[in-house]
Amino acid sequence: MKKSLLIIILTFLTLLTGTTISYSQANNPSPLKFNEMIHNFGKILISEGPRSCVFKYENTGDSTIVIYNILTSCGCTTPQWDRAPVKPGQKGSIKITFSNDQGPFPFDKIISVYTSASDRPIILKIRGIAYEKEKSVKEMFPEHIGSVGFRNRIQGMGEIEQGEIKSSSVPFANNGNKSIKLKFEQITPGFTVQARPSEIKAGDVGEIYFTADTRVKKQWGKTQYAAKIFCNGIQQKKPFVAEALIIDNFSGLSEIQKAGGSLLSADKNVYDFGKIPYGKTAKASFSIKNEGKNTLIIHKADSNSDIIKVSYPAALEPGRKGTLSVTLPVNKLKGEQVFTITLITNSPIRPLVNFFVSGKFD
C-alpha cells in the first residue's frame, strides 16, 4: 500500500515539476516581434526524421536587445539562434529542430525565449502530429462534442497569475460528414474563444484560439472557463472547456519583499489511513504553521475529488498554527484511493502546497 502510494505521489510531483509555465504575451509586450508565435508542422511521418522551422523576429523598440537563453519543454526540441545583440530595426531568426523520434502521437512543445527586454520569457510553440502510418481524423481527435473532435476533453492553460491575461490555442477537427460553421455563445465572463477558420469542411482541421482575463473576476486555484458550442446554429450537448490554475501575482515584489512574505509549513504532507471498514468515517488532519514574516492567507483548497470535504483557517498570523482537516465519505469509496489537496496561498516562496490522503476502503 505504502509503496504504491509513494509511486503515485512521485508521479504527481514529477508531472507538477515538469510543467512549463507560460506567460501571456498580451500582458507582457515585447519589442521583439515574431512573424508567428505557433508553428504547426501538420502531419509528419516518423520515417521523415527531424523537422525544422524558423521563427523570424524584428526589434521594433528603441534599445538593443540580447537573447540570453532559449529553453524548451522537451529534449526532443533544439533551438539555434544568433547570440549577437539585436539592434533597433534589426531582424533575426530562431531555428527550432524537432527530433521526431518519440513515437506516433500529437506533439505540442513550448519554447521559452529569455531576453534583456523583459524578466519574463516570450513563449513560442511548435505542434503537429507524428505518425507511422496514416490515421483518420477521428482517430487523431477522439474526444467528440457533436461532430467537433478534440484531443482532450478539457484544454489546459497551466498557471495564470492574478491580474494577467493569458492566451492559448488547440487544434480541432470536423469529424462529421458535412461542413460545419462553428460559433461560441454563453461564454464565461473574462473568457474569449474563436475558431479559425469558423467554417471547415468534413475531415479538415482548424484551430481554436482562447483567452482568459483574470482581471474580470477574481478567482483562485483550479478555475474552468466554458463556452457553449454551436454547429451550424445547433447547440451541442457539451461545452468547450479550458482549465487554468490561478495563483497570486508576485511579479512586482523585490527579492527582499518575497523573503519577508508568508510561508506555510506542515508537520507532514502525507496521511495513510491504511485499511478502513465500510461505514467508518475517515478523517485526517495536518498541523500547519505560518513560518513567514507576514500574514498567511489561504485563498482556496483544491482537490482531485468533489466528494471529500476540506476545512482550514483562512488566515494565520506569523508564528501561528492551524489545522487542515480532511473528511472522506467512506460509504462512497471502494478499493485503494489517493486524494490530493492543494492549498493556494499568498506565499511568494511557496504559493502552492500539496497534501496527500490515501486509504484502502472495503
CA distance from start to end of the chain: 14
**In the predicted model, what is the mean pLDDT of residues 163-171?**
90
State whether 142 and 229 are in the same domain: yes
Q: Report the distance separating Cα 155 and Cα 111, nearest Å.
A: 19
Using DSSP, state whether 155 is helix, strand or coil: strand
**In the predicted model, what is the mean pLDDT of residues 230-238?**
94
State whether 194 and 100 are in the same domain: no
Q: Which of 61-75, 132-146, 208-222, 331-345 has the highest mean pLDDT?
A: 208-222
**In the predicted model, what is the mean pLDDT of residues 240-258?**
93
Q: Report the distance separating Cα 208 and Cα 265, nearest Å.
A: 41
pTM of the model: 0.68
Q: Which of 206-210, 275-279, 297-301 has the highest mean pLDDT?
A: 297-301
Residue 8 has pLDDT above 50, yes or no: no
Which of 81, 115, 135 delimits the end of a domain?
Answer: 135
Query: Is 10 part of any domain?
Result: no
State whether 322 and 357 are in the same domain: yes
Query: Is 234 part of any domain?
Result: yes
pLDDT-derived band at 332, boundaries 50, 70, 90: low
CA atoms within 13 A on the CB side of 156: 9
Residue 196 has pLDDT above 60, yes or no: yes
| CATH number, domain containing residue 319 | 2.60.40.10
Give the H/E segment covering residue 8.
helix 2-17
pLDDT in tens, 84-111: 899 999 999 999 999 988 777 788 899 9
State whether 193 and 229 are in the same domain: yes
